[in-house]
Chain A
């Protein structure tokens, strides 16, 4: 028979990934628009900064986050002075960490989408009487929707697979900050192979399902530029 298994980590994983993705799309859009517009050294520097989480060991990122958003850190201290509960070892902390960790996966597809689109459609829309917000929703978004799909998928998937950063800033508090990847590690550590099997299998099937849906959507969302 199946052993008793706690599915809470799965639920927390999905929550973190969902909030992180929403945040990345909303805040990542203006950042990617800006990156697509600038040129030269400035662009190289900021692109590199956005890409940092790709090369840094997650523990390095997690360590710096811990010292900045921890109760004694500059941001964490300010946060505490407003009377909020600490960011570290909380769901909010996990989302902040995941946001930075998955930033390049959301920004890069969006930035490429905006660069590929060019400024022409936006100029056309402006001469036709559309203001900046109107232009974004009526022209830019529909023409870069595939890039948004890719950005959201990668950000979500990457956050689901996160381990090191979360361990550094979120600890491993069951029911609060224990995500699936860490729970699996714990089960293996405790020689509970059947629990690890079940959680891993669920993750595998779920990931495959999500990606299949995304790829089939992707084909249908194609906008021929011509």
Chain B
């Protein structure tokens, strides 16, 4: 675990009380919660912006905060992307990008001579290419659109060679169009950077697409830290409060069936056919054979059959075993199903009437027929 600690902050009526926490040393950790749950305060305390925060924070072998002493922010080698891009208005795009880079130049030479296993430096060219900034370099920052500004802010942060990246709802101030345009850049960062990323959001969709781990926050407390699949599959998950129950399976890409526009996946022992989305025509978004993907299945789209059907238009029918049955609402139950060798359960929503008629019981073997399946990322 790379980053751990325990933080408290009292501000008026609001109290942040994290308890002991640990953040994984790689991948994206989403901080999820409603507005007012203390997500931003938590991240700001972690970064060192709040002088009143007490407790301790340790990042690898560096003590960021311990009673009576706080390491200056500029010595922490952390990158922070704010909700608003916060570019320096007196510098153009290129000078904004180079602001942090210039300041690492001296320290960097010291670092590489010290250790041979170098943190490979993120170069200016790399960032310009990743974030599509080539055409913007000489522009005045006030002339940029919201999405462009945020891309410059991210590039500027990456070039300061941080060892951990913190982002506070970097898409919150963007319109839907800019959000869609910038999302692939975030996915690319997640895949290409080796540093841990902490990402605040209140959007379940962003959690689904980007996160590997989720920190749930509520009223200033950290209620849970768990891997994404677990967070997505938990029945009382805060991610989908008020939305339809659904399940997320992890699957491996086996084959592209181009002539039919489908992708064949393997989830545990079962096979799934999923439409290759429009996005997959775009080479950069194409899912590679052998790669792991998350598929999402609404519980309403899953029905149960006694045996494999002879003839059906439904593509996906999986052998499953009933693990648990729970009442969901007035007229239906949620059935927790297990595909052999698949780590995550499949949920089916079944009416009380059907449950009774079919006499569904735990441990019975059934076939789950699924009407629609989609790939998450």
Contacts and interface: CB of A to CB of B under 8 A. Distances in A.
B24 interface: no
Contact of A127 (B47, B84, B88, B107): B47
- Which of A143, A224, A226 counts the most chain B CB atoms within 10 A? A226
Interface in A53-81: none
A131 B72 CA distance: 8
A223 B73 contact: no
B141 A120 contact: no
B79 interface: yes
B139 interface: no
B80 A127 contact: yes
B150 interface: no
A225 B141 CA distance: 10
B88 to A, nearest CB: 6
A128 B82 contact: no
B196 to A, nearest CB: 15
Interface string B106-126: 010000000000000000000
A139 interface: yes
A134 B89 CA distance: 17
B160 A129 contact: yes
A120 B80 CA distance: 11
Interface stretch (B33-41, B97-105, B224-232, B344-352): B97-105
Interface string B73-94: 1101111101010101110000
Contacts of A10: none
A128 B162 CA distance: 8
Contact of B160 (A121, A128, A138): A128
B86 A226 contact: no
A74 to B, nearest CB: 36
B49 A128 contact: no
A135 to B, nearest CB: 8
Interface residues of A, number: 21
B90 A143 contact: yes
A129 B142 contact: no
Q: Is the interface of A mostly helix, strand, loop or mixed?
A: helix
Contacts, number: 64
Contacts of A192: none
A6 B150 CA distance: 63
B29 interface: no
A131 B89 contact: no
B157 interface: yes
A137 to B, nearest CB: 12
A173 interface: no
Interface in A145-160: none
A139 B90 CA distance: 8
Contacts of A225: 89
B160 A127 contact: yes
Contacts of B156: 128
A156 to B, nearest CB: 25
B86 A120 contact: yes
Given A128-B156, A131-B72, A143-B88, A123 B142 contact: no
A127 B154 CA distance: 12
Contacts of B141: 226
Nearest to A118: B86
A142 interface: yes
Contacts of B157: 127-128
B102 to A, nearest CB: 9
A123 B83 CA distance: 13
Interface string B132-162: 0000000001100000000000001100101
Contacts of A38: none
Given A120-B82, A123-B49, A128 B100 contact: yes
Interface in A113-134: 120-121, 123-131, 134
Contact of A129 (B82, B84, B100): B100
B317 to A, nearest CB: 52
A122 to B, nearest CB: 10
Contacts of A135: 74
A125 B82 contact: no
* Top 4 A-B pairs, shortest CB-CB distance: A128-B100, A129-B103, A126-B73, A226-B142
Interface of B: 47, 49, 72-74, 76-80, 82, 84, 86, 88-90, 99-100, 103-104, 107, 141-142, 156-157, 160, 162
8 contacts: A120-B84, A127-B160, A128-B156, A129-B107, A135-B74, A143-B88, A223-B90, A224-B142
